[in-house]
Structure 1
Amino acid sequence: MKKILAGILCGLLCFIVFISYRVKVYGAQVDNSQKFTTAEDIKNKRIGVLLGSVQDDYAMKHYPNATILQYKSVSDVVVALKSKKIDAAFYTRETMMEILRNDKSMEFLEKNIYENPIGMGFNKNNTKLLEDFNGFLKKIKSNGVYDDMVKRWITDGSQSMPKIVNKENNGTLVIGIVSDKGLPFTTVKDGKMVGFDVEMAQRFAAELGKKLVFSDMEFGSLIAAVSANKIDMITSTLVITEERKKKINFSDSYYKLGAGIVVLKENLAKYDAETKQEVGKQSFIKSIGDSFYNNIILENRYMLIIDGLKITIIIASLAVIFGTILGMLICFMRMSGNSFLSNIASVYIAILRGTPMLVFLMLIFYVFFASVNIDPVLAAVIAFGMNFAAYASEMFRTAILSIDKGQQEAGIAAGFTKIETFLYIIMPQAIKQVLPVYKGEVISVLKSTSIVGYIAVQDLTKAGDIIRSRTFDAFFPLIMVAIIYFVISWLLTVLLDYMGRKIDPRSRKRFKNKNKIIY
Structure 2
Amino acid sequence: MKVKGRNILLTIMTLCLSLLFLFTIQPTHHTAYAADDSLQKIKDRGTIIMATSPDYPPYEFQVSKNGKSRIVGMDVDIMKQVAKDLGVKLEIKSMSYDSVLVAVETGKADVAMSGINPTAKRRQSVDFSEIYYNGGQSFLINKTDIGKYKNKAALAHKKIGAQTGTLQYNLAKSKIPGATVKGMDKNTDLVLALKTHKIDALGIETPSAEAYVKNDHDLAMIKSGYKLNKNETGSAMAFRKGSGTLAAAVNKSIDKIKAKHLTTQYLADAGKYMKVNTNNTSMIHYWNYFAKGIEYTLLISAISVIFGVLLGTILALMRFSKSKLLKAISVAYVEFVRGTPLMVQVMFVYFGVGIIVNLPALLSGIIAVSLNSGAYVEEIIRGGINSVDKGQTEASASLGLAKSDTMRFVVLPQALKNIWPALGNEFVSLVKESSIVSIIGVTDLIYQLNIVRADTYRGVMPVFIAMCIYFVMTFILTRVLNYFEGRMKHAR
TM-score computed with the length of structure 2 as normaliser: 0.65
Distance 1:427 1:151, change over 3 A: same
Q: Retained in 2: the 8 A contact 1:153–1:159?
A: no
Deviations 1:221-263 (A, max 9, x none): xxxxxxxxxxxxxxxxxxxxxxxxxxxxxxxxxxxxxxxxxxx
The reply on whether 1:336 has 2:321 as its aligned counterpart is yes
1:42 maps to what in 2? Answer: 155
CA distance in 1, matches of 2:450, 2:213: 20
Q: Retained in 1: the 8 A contact 2:213–2:220?
A: yes
2:168 maps to what in 1? Answer: 55
Q: 1:496 aligns with which of 481, 484, 490?
A: 481
1:286 maps to what in 2? Answer: none
Secondary structure at 1:318's aligned position in 2?
helix
Cα distance, 1:135 vs structure 2: 2.7
Q: How many aligned positions are there?
A: 346
The reply on whether 1:109 has 2:222 as its aligned counterpart is yes
2:335 maps to what in 1? Answer: 350
1:91 maps to what in 2? Answer: 204
Deviations 1:104-158 (A, max 9, x none): 322222266455222111111333332332233334445x3xx24x233435763
Secondary structure at 2:220's aligned position in 1?
strand
Q: Retained in 2: the 8 A contact 1:295–1:476?
A: no
The worse-fitting range, judged by mean Cα deviation, of 64-73 and 458-467 is 64-73
CA distance in 1, matches of 2:247, 2:270: 29
Q: 1:127 aligns with which of 232, 244, 262?
A: 244
The reply on whether 1:423 has 2:390 as its aligned counterpart is no
Task: Trace 1:229-268 onto structure 2 (pairs within 5 A).
Answer: none
Cα distance, 1:55 vs structure 2: 0.8
Q: 2:185 aligns with which of 72, 78, 81?
A: 72
TM-score computed with the length of structure 1 as normaliser: 0.62
The reply on whether 1:409 has 2:371 as its aligned counterpart is no
Q: 1:383 aligns with which of 368, 372, 377?
A: 368
2:254 maps to what in 1? Answer: 137
Task: Trace 1:433-472 onto structure 2 (pairs within 5 A).
Answer: 433-472=418-457
1:24 maps to what in 2? Answer: none
CA distance in 2, matches of 1:317, 1:450: 13
Cα distance, 1:376 vs structure 2: 1.2
CA distance in 2, matches of 1:384, 1:156: 40
Cα distance, 1:33 vs structure 2: 11
Distance 1:140 1:151, change over 3 A: closer
CA distance in 1, matches of 2:418, 2:234: 62
Deviations 1:75-114 (A, max 9, x none): 2222222222211121010111122122232222226645
Paired residue type of 1:374 = L
Cα distance, 1:493 vs structure 2: 0.9
Paired residue type of 1:86 = I
Deviations 1:187-215 (A, max 9, x none): x959xxxxxxxxxxxxxxxxxxxxxxxxx
Paired residue type of 2:281 = N
CA distance in 1, matches of 2:376, 2:214: 51
Q: Retained in 2: the 8 A contact 1:152–1:158?
A: no
Cα distance, 1:74 vs structure 2: 1.9
Percent identity, aligned pairs only, is: 29
CA distance in 2, matches of 1:394, 1:122: 44
Paired residue type of 1:422 = M
Deviations 1:252-296 (A, max 9, x none): xxxxxxxxxxxxxxxxxxxxxxxxxxxxxxxxxxxxxx9xx6242
Cα distance, 1:32 vs structure 2: 6.8
Secondary structure at 1:336's aligned position in 2?
coil
Paired residue type of 1:485 = Y
The reply on whether 1:303 has 2:301 as its aligned counterpart is no
Q: Retained in 2: the 8 A contact 1:93–1:112?
A: no
Q: Retained in 1: the 8 A contact 2:393–2:406?
A: yes
CA distance in 2, matches of 1:370, 1:86: 40
Cα distance, 1:297 vs structure 2: 3.2
Deviations 1:323-359 (A, max 9, x none): 1111111111111011111111111111111111112
CA distance in 2, matches of 1:413, 1:69: 67
CA distance in 2, matches of 1:323, 1:189: 40
Q: Retained in 2: the 8 A contact 1:295–1:467?
A: no
Distance 1:157 1:339, change over 3 A: closer
2:235 maps to what in 1? Answer: 118
CA distance in 1, matches of 2:435, 2:209: 28
Where does the alignment leave 5 or more consecutive residues of structure 1 unmatched? 1-30, 161-182, 191-289, 508-519
Task: Trace 1:130-279 onto structure 2 (pairs within 5 A).
Answer: 130-142=247-259, 144=260, 147-148=261-262, 150-154=263-267, 158-160=271-273
Cα distance, 1:402 vs structure 2: 1.3
Where does the alignment leave 5 or more consecutive residues of structure 2 unmatched? 1-143
Distance 1:295 1:126, change over 3 A: farther
1:512 maps to what in 2? Answer: none
Q: CA RMSD in A?
A: 2.6
